[in-house]
Chain A
């Protein structure tokens, strides 16, 4: 008997009496989405900037990141100096200082942003960059994860990730350190 068959046979023999599948949950909408979102994001180590135009993001980058550093932008209106669409081996992204990406939606309860594969081109980009900027539209904010999973089709693409903050660890005596392996910062620009 194959291992699959023997595992399934053992399950058949041992499985408990059928129990029903619970209905999906829904809870009241959060009235102050932006405020709640900011709290959620900062709780996980990210920071929120509210801006009115994409130009403000460009200005921020120019003020904070030296010209010669490698920057990859997949957001229209924000200039980078490498074109990730022309890169075939993700290892070539090793020295990217900043990645600028468009988020699909944000979740107020925890700051999480849904980032499908099509928004990152290379799956490793949001992780390998030293710093990460995500642009998020205000009207994509949702109250909680239940709402997010109703909107997002997790298998539309081969890969997708909820990003809720920069890379962090507390494995040494529970002291929080930002910048474990991935981005040392996450800045979310919220736009109208």
Chain B
């Protein structure tokens, strides 16, 4: 079966014009909150530089840091497991559940377990995994995947959620007040928390120096789950390490501000030892990360702290929705991570970008996302048979990238254009994936002409 290209999937999404606009505006609003918040911190750029450099250190010392982490975690009484891939990760979880005779599982948001397809794997084995993050619970009821890594149900309107809740937890038909719906979910999930004997969480930061880890939530769901259940399984990608506890100062200042504009998540929980009489496991997962580490042009993508800022700012993401990427991590970062996993399947993702550079501008760890998108395009053009229109777009991009001054200017313009009249850029005929998706054989104007013309206006 041929996988749907990003453009085809995006076409589905934008069929509903009003909803597309609403999605676009909602995310842009989140982006603006991020800007306001960042502007309130005079040392913002220093924080970004430091976070980026700290992650460079981590990536270049990953082996030592992982071993240090394991030694310290073991000394803390944490059981440490290693998983080469998703399959092994899932098997570890299953074995732990079996060994501990677990029947009820609650899970807090973890993109890694999504990546590993853990829920489906456990469901096949007869387990019911209850997602406890409100957004995750909503889409779990709807049998959907998250469409955003921080705002999993951002594609749904409150009326949709009212319908879903009516069907699954018996809220009143037609009710759509967020307060009412949240209260209903609270009551429903409280029961689940109280009944659970195992809690699965992700990890935001693993601390090599202390052998512990940090989980950030606003709802407190990771804590409600882990502190009531006897078993806590934390699933962590190997790139989530930081060297020292003091590095958290930098990362926690950046994470929530970049994600939603708030100064910090309401709960930043530090786990070092299991509570008396309980068990704590941590699974260290590779699943393609070591391979990405060896790709000089793309290794920086492993610095990602999953804040979602690049999605909120991306003119393509905002207008095409998370599902159009057909990968666990959507948006700009997803488009540079996914091709490393399956070049063919994800070959259209690096083209789902205007290369405006806005993603790189907001990224708290300064990943050169748009440059990597461009580089993937080259790899894909060489290695797969992308259609002619995309090759043409490559040429245009190649031209700009080859001329740094021009590129800089264009980038600046693009960024302004994004704010004021986003459509002018996004839906320009130069973009393979905008509205005029059928690119003519020959572009009506070269980039230079476009630039010349637009500069005057």
Contacts and interface: CB of A to CB of B under 8 A. Distances in A.
B128 interface: no
Contacts of A165: 266
B157 A44 contact: no
A15 B266 contact: no
B348 interface: no
Contacts of A18: 60-61
B13 to A, nearest CB: 17
A72 interface: no
Looking at chain A's contact residues, the main secondary structure is loop
A42 B82 CA distance: 42
A73 to B, nearest CB: 19
B53 interface: yes
7 closest A-B pairs (Cβ-Cβ)?
A14-B294, A158-B273, A182-B220, A124-B227, A110-B263, A171-B135, A10-B290
Interface of A: 2-4, 6-8, 10-22, 24-25, 27, 40, 43-45, 90-91, 94, 109-112, 122-124, 126-128, 144-150, 153-155, 157-175, 177, 179-183
Nearest to B185: A180
A154 B227 contact: no
Contacts of A21: 54, 57, 243
B312 to A, nearest CB: 11
B87 to A, nearest CB: 11
B88 A90 contact: no
B54 A22 contact: yes
Nearest to B207: A154
A145 B252 contact: yes
A148 B249 contact: yes
Contacts of B212: 154-155
B245 A149 contact: yes
Contacts of B265: 164
Interface stretch (B3-11, B174-182, B364-372, B397-405): B174-182
B219 A149 contact: no
Given A16-B293, A182-B220, A182-B224, A11 B246 contact: no
Nearest to A120: B227
A124 B246 CA distance: 25
B68 interface: no
Contacts of B248: 145, 149, 154
A25 B269 contact: no
B274 A161 contact: no
Given A122-B227, A164-B263, A172-B178, A8 B67 contact: yes
Contacts of A122: 227
Contacts of A159: 269-273, 275
B193 interface: yes
A182 B224 CA distance: 8
B194 A94 contact: yes
A127 B178 contact: no
B17 interface: no
A155 B154 CA distance: 36
B134 A172 contact: yes
Nearest to B215: A161
13 contacts: A3-B84, A8-B63, A11-B62, A15-B62, A18-B61, A20-B53, A22-B57, A109-B41, A145-B253, A146-B250, A154-B245, A154-B270, A158-B76
A167 B218 contact: yes
Given A18-B61, A146-B249, A171-B135, 12 more contacts: A7-B238, A14-B293, A17-B60, A19-B57, A25-B250, A44-B264, A90-B227, A157-B273, A165-B266, A169-B218, A170-B151, A172-B158
Nearest to A156: B272
